Amino acid sequence: MDLLPLSLILVATLFTCLALGLWVGFSLIAVGIVAMVLATPAPVGAVFATKAWAALNIWDLTALPMFIWMGEILARSRLSSDMFRGLAPFTRRLPGGLLHVNIIGCALFAAVSGSSAATTATVGRISLPELRQRGYDDRMAIGTLAGSGTFGFLIPPSIILIVYGAATEQSIARLFLAGVLPGLLLAALFGGYTMVWSLLNRDRMPPPEPKSSLGEKLRAAMLLLPTVLLIVAVIGSIYAGLASPTEAAVVGVVGALLISGLSGGIDRKGAWDSLRGATITTCMIAFILVGAAFLTGAMGYTGIPRSLAAWIGAQDLSPYALLAALLVFFVVMGFFLDGISIVVLTVSIILPMVLAAGIDPIWFGVFLVLVVEMSQITPPVGFNLFVLQSITGRGMFAVARYALPFFLLLVFAAAVLTVFPDIALWLPSTMNAR
């Protein structure tokens, strides 16, 4: 069969499966089966078994369930309420006031959870009622939370960076370090925008709150101490070379259990629920990885990736033009697929082109995750939009409208990262130097 009709059939099959509500992993498997039946006499069952085993028989993936479990434990603890009370005295006098709690709180929780949706939900359940009670503009409160919730994809320990590293055979430790400074850049951009917005819209801000005393700040700092120690234990052990990502994940789980147990924020039922939630999420990601691996193998039989790569190569695009085209491509993909599905479905096709253009694969992993973050706040499949819709009762497109300035800041951050790649590569290079 000619490649163009075959490509159209496969695209139609994928979107039909997704529209019918079939899980993403099974949708990818279905498309792979159709591709193999139409393009090759090779045995479908044997190819599926081989690809499924290869996709999951990767040692680096052992860190995945542990980091997910750590996030599940902390999401059920009192960590988010402690973070709000700990951050409030330090932010209430800044331009933008307690709106910065959304930004800093999401950055801190992202550094101990690795999940965008979990970050948005956990911080949002505490911060949004408090901000509303104090008279903050609801649209800005929701917008800052929607944008900042995407930090969970980029700031380590990022689940999606683990998936990218396993799929591309790149060092997860180096990917984690590469995500630190871009994550801080995003937090600074969001904080700066919030300050400017509040100064230009004083009529939509509540009256300034009283200045915090030194004693209040010290008590607040003690509430933040467990979170900071956990971040240092996980990321610091990797950076210092004391632990691999998998070992650091175990340290994180033990630390999360200690924090939750000592603070009285989790009981035996909560611990069991966290383990159950981590198992469900891990299985969901595993199905996506298997489906994407099988589809990638099936696509190899069709010849579509080779033809696509040859066509793009014939365009003689510069690295900047290629990255701009990929940014648009991934944003469009984000309208229909979640972030992990985008990465595992496309990386095997895209990465050879990226390497041929002389682009560092570690840097590209951060760029890819940064762009995929945009899919979290774009309808109709933006997970952060679903989370905030359930928390706030606002419509999905209304939430997306509130998050639009932060979507544009994500685009700007991707441009800055492209022009100054050392923002992502400096920390990994220092680890190599040692």
Q: Is 211 buried (19+), middle (13-18) or exposed (0-12) by CB count in 10 A?
A: exposed
> How many Cβ atoms from other residues are within 10 Å of residue 118's Cβ?
23
Among candidates 210, 226, 173, 194, which has minimal Cα distance to 89?
210
Q: Residue 119 and residue 78: Cα distance in Å, rounded?
A: 14
3-class secondary structure, 150: coil
- Tokens 């997970």 label which residue? 383
Residue 382 has phi, psi (to 5 degrees) of -75, 110
- pLDDT tens, N- to C-terminus, the chain (434 residues): 577 788 888 888 888 887 887 877 888 889 889 988 888 888 888 889 988 888 788 777 788 888 888 878 877 777 777 888 888 888 888 888 889 988 998 888 888 777 777 788 878 888 888 888 888 988 999 999 989 988 888 888 888 888 888 888 888 889 999 999 999 999 999 999 999 999 999 888 888 777 778 788 888 888 888 888 888 888 888 877 788 888 888 888 888 888 887 776 677 888 888 889 888 888 887 887 888 788 878 877 877 766 766 676 677 778 888 888 888 888 877 776 777 777 877 787 788 888 888 899 999 999 999 988 887 788 766 777 877 887 888 887 888 899 999 999 999 999 999 999 999 999 888 866 45
Contacts of residue 236, Cβ cutoff 8 Å, sequence gap at least 6: none
3-class secondary structure, 2: coil
Q: Residue 421 and residue 319: Cα distance in Å, rounded?
A: 12
Q: Residue 404 and residue 422: Cα distance in Å, rounded?
A: 27
Q: Could you write out the DSSP letters of every residue in 378-410? A: STTS-HHHHHHHHHH---HHHHHHHHHHHHHHH
Q: What is the pLDDT of residue 411?
A: 92
**What radius of gyration, in Å, describes the C-alpha atoms of the chain?**
22
Q: What letters, b where the CB count within 10 A reaches 16 and e where it falls short, cover 38-70?
A: ebeeeebeebbeebbeebeeeebbbbbbbbbbb
3-class secondary structure, 13: helix
Q: What is the pLDDT of residue 199?
A: 92
Q: Is 209 buried (19+), middle (13-18) or exposed (0-12) by CB count in 10 A?
A: middle
Side chain identity, residue 258:
L
Q: Is the dihedral of CA 351, 355, 358, 360 positive or negative?
A: positive
H/E run at residue 55:
helix 44-56
Q: In Å, how far from its chain's centre is CA 252?
A: 18
Q: What is the pLDDT of residue 397?
A: 84
Contacts of residue 278, Cβ cutoff 8 Å, sequence gap at least 6: 65, 68, 69, 71, 72
The answer to whether 343 touches 164, Cβ cutoff 8 Å, is yes
Contacts of residue 293, Cβ cutoff 8 Å, sequence gap at least 6: 51, 52, 54, 55, 344
Roughly what angle, to the nearest 10 degrees, separates helices 245-262 and 63-75? 20
Q: Residue 234 and residue 243: Cα distance in Å, rounded?
A: 9
Q: Could you write out the DSSP letters of every residue in 168-223? A: HT--HHHHHHHHHHHHHHHHHHHHHHHHHHHHH-GGGSPPPPPPPPHHHHHHHHHH
Contacts of residue 393, Cβ cutoff 8 Å, sequence gap at least 6: none
Per the omega criterion (within 30 degrees of 0), is the bond before 305 cis?
no
> How many Cβ atoms from other residues are within 10 Å of residue 339's Cβ?
29
Q: What is the pTM of this model?
A: 0.81
Structure tokens at 58: 């990767």
